[in-house]
Structure 1
Amino acid sequence: MTQARPSSPTRVVVPKPRPSVGQIFNVLGITAIHVGTVVAIARGATWKLAALAAATYFVRMFAITAVYHRYFSHRSYKTSRGLQFLLALLGTTATQKGPLWWGGTHRVHHKYSDTERDVHSPLRRGFWYAHMGWWLGREHEELDLKRIPDFAGFPELRWLDRYHVVGPIGMIALLFAVGGYDAFLWGYVVSTCALMHGTFTINSLAHVFGSRRYATTDTSRNNFWLALITLGEGWHNNHHHYMSSANQGFFWWEIDVSFYILRGMEKLGLIWDLRTAPAHVIQRNLVKEVGERSPLLVPQAAPAAPLDAPPLGRPSLGDV
């Protein structure tokens, strides 16, 4: 009589979802940007081309920091409907999708900062995911208008968010018309590559390296060097302390170029109600006075809250 053998358990193979069109577009686009940057460097550059790359980097970094971030994400100033659209259009030339998607996704980061629900926490998913991996995945690909209802009511912004490639295409056409292939390579490709990595360093590095002035419930830090390359975004702990402030450099020695430009625009009447951090807010919740309160930085603190609990990443003061 043969002995019965236990049957091996059936292995269920869950098929991986196919890459979406958006994912494929993102991967091909970022790959092309990096390959094009290598080509541009191999071809060499004149001082004029280097200056062009620096200028387009500066203008578009301002569009990301002062428009996509401080306006659409945090409503730190007001402007007219016409200029709102033009600034949003300028922001699309940075090739970081549309203003509603960018602003809405960033609000999720603040709501769940450094928890499992954070969009790009280096503590939860590692450096490369926080730097670029989240950008290439499907999880945060779609626009959710519920995340940004205050701007979702403008049909022109919804249109621009859907056709955000209009900005980059227009910029590329202009560069070709003005200076040909080399102007395109340096004014768009090299500049965009530097711009992407400059922006993404705030996600990947500004929660790891730097100093902490405020006892926020996340791991945000202030970093002078990141502030230089991002026109002021490196004062990230300041920002998480009081998100709605248009100035992220709270003291005169904290360089914040984006805020200087916004202040100039305010004097010209282009924007108004420019919000800044009040003096009493700047002096509250200091680490040196209250101690470190982040459960991610204090070993004896309670473990992180479950996903259905209130987010740990809310700011210590201020609002969205």
Structure 2
Amino acid sequence: MALIIVLVGLWYLSLFFQTFFQHRYAAHGAFTMNKFWERVFFLFTYLAQGSSYMSPRAYAIMHRMHHAYTDTDKDPHSPSYSKNIFSMMWRTRNIYSAIFKGKITIEERFTKNIPDWPLFDKWAHSTFSRLLWAAGYTLLFIFLTPTLWLLLLLPVVMSMGAFHGAIINWFAHKYGYINFRLKNTSQNLISVDLLMLGEAYHNNHHKQPSSINFGKRWHEIDPVFHVIRFLAWCRIIKL
């Protein structure tokens, strides 16, 4: 039971900082914050995502490319150009890595007003950092697991951020329903999003990328929207 609680906690913490900081803030500028709080959320994102940490800068650039080139051969993660979800994940990983390492030319429109902390990202993105997190996860599993079979979940935990992205980038462009007719294949994956903290309302998001609320209909509950409103009330961020 203790391990299940830990796994659920890791899932939601990692996902929250992905959707709040890397996606809504870094990629879309849905709200603003001062440099102090930006650095605080850099740290929180790293602590929550561990070995699957993604640079907010590289993530933002790649995600902006996804919106600009949705469903074309320039889309970093389109099901239309991958045979299966794993080949799409690998293609996405290669494009992300090339952006992070500066191996491809990035248009200026994709780099405007994105958060950047090069020194921190150099450590957080390093192989040594990822190995330390992997060792920590392994020890935690060994200490808490009631059965060794649960060790099979370790690869998912170590690459959790990639799985979050793959669920939406693959399935939400193949299955679901639409609220808005758009010139792309984005769909709302499920009507009540309990597992993805609003990210499953992908059709809504493609209609209004910078909206702080991904839910548009009464039953489309986006819990992160309410957290954003609370943080704005606390004057940590500005809407």
TM bin, normalised by shorter chain, reads 0.7 to 0.9
**Which one-letter code corresponds to 2:77 in the other structure?**
H
Label 1:51 to 1:86 Cα distance change in 2 as closer, same or farther (>3 A): same
Give, in angstroms, the shift of residue 138 of structure 1. Answer: 5.7
Q: Provide Cα deviations, 1:93-119, integer angstroms capped at 9, x if missing partner.
A: 421421101111111010100011111
The equivalent residue for 2:111 is: 148
Query: What is the CA–CA distance in structure 2 between the aligned matches of 1:238 and 1:180, rounded to whole Å?
Result: 38
Q: Which residue of 2 aligns with 1:127?
A: 84
- CA distance in 1: counterparts of 2:65 and 2:212, whole angstroms: 19
Q: 1:242 — aligned with what?
A: 208
Code of the aligned partner of 1:53: L
Residues 1:108 and 2:65 are matched in the alignment: yes
Distance 1:57 1:65 in 2: 12
Q: How far did residue 165 of structure 1 move?
A: 3.3
For the residues of structure 2 that align with 1:186 and 1:270, how far apart are their CA atoms?
A: 39
Q: Which residue number corresponds to residue 267 of structure 1? A: 233
Asked if the contact 1:209/1:221 (under 8 Å) is kept, the reply is yes
Are 1:100 and 1:161, in contact at CA under 8 Å, matched by a contact in 2?
Answer: no
Given candidates 12, 15, 19, the residue that maps to 1:65 is 19
Task: Specify which of 170, 183, 199 is matched with residue 204 of structure 1.
Answer: 170
Q: Distance in 2 between matches of 1:98 and 1:86?
A: 14
Code of the residue aligned with 1:135 in structure 2: it is T
Q: 1:213 aligns with which of 179, 182, 203?
A: 179
Relative to structure 1, the CA distance from residue 76 to residue 91 in structure 2 (aligned partners, 3 Å threshold; closer, same or farther) is same
Query: What is aligned with 1:297?
Result: none
Higher alpha-carbon Rg: 1
- Pairwise mapping of residues 1-320 of structure 1 onto structure 2 (< 5 A)? 47-93=1-47, 94=49, 95-128=52-85, 131-137=88-94, 141-143=98-100, 144=102, 146=108, 147-151=110-114, 154=116, 157-165=117-125, 181-182=142-143, 190-224=156-190, 227-273=193-239
Report the alpha carbon displacement of residue 181 of structure 1 after superposing the two structures with TM: 4.5
Contact residue 76 and residue 246 of structure 1 kept, 8 A = yes
In the alignment, the residues of structure 1 paired with residue 164 and residue 96 of structure 2 have an alpha-carbon distance, to the nearest angstrom, of: 23
Q: Is the 8 A contact 2:156 2:163 kept in 1?
A: no
Residues paired across the two proteins, number: 223
**Fraction of identical pairs, as percent:** 24
Gaps of 5+ in 1: 1-46, 274-320
* 2:229 partner amino acid: R
Change (3 A) 1:142 1:160: same
Q: What secondary structure is seen at the aligned counterpart in 1 of 2:213? A: coil
Structure 1 residues 99 and 187: CA distance shift in structure 2, 3 A: farther
CA contact (8 A) 1:64 1:91 kept: yes
Q: Does the 8 Å contact 1:49/1:186 carry over to 2?
A: no
Distance in 2 between the 1:50 and 1:150 partners? 39
> Cα distance, 1:75 vs. partner?
0.5
The two structures have a TM-score, normalised by structure 1, of 0.61
More helix by share: 2
Hey, what's the Cα distance between the residues in 1 that align with 2:163 and 2:22?
A: 16
Superposed CA deviations along residues 167-226 of structure 1, whole A, max 9, x for unmatched, are 75776687789x684369799765345553233111111111011111211110011179
TM-score w.r.t. structure 2 length? Answer: 0.79
Give the counterpart letter for 1:103 in structure 2.
A
Letter in structure 1 aligned against 2:193: A
Deviations for 1:28-71, whole angstroms, at most 9, x for unmatched residues? xxxxxxxxxxxxxxxxxxx1121111112111110111111011
**5+ residue gaps in structure 2?**
146-150
Counterpart-to-counterpart distance in 2, 1:181 and 1:165: 25
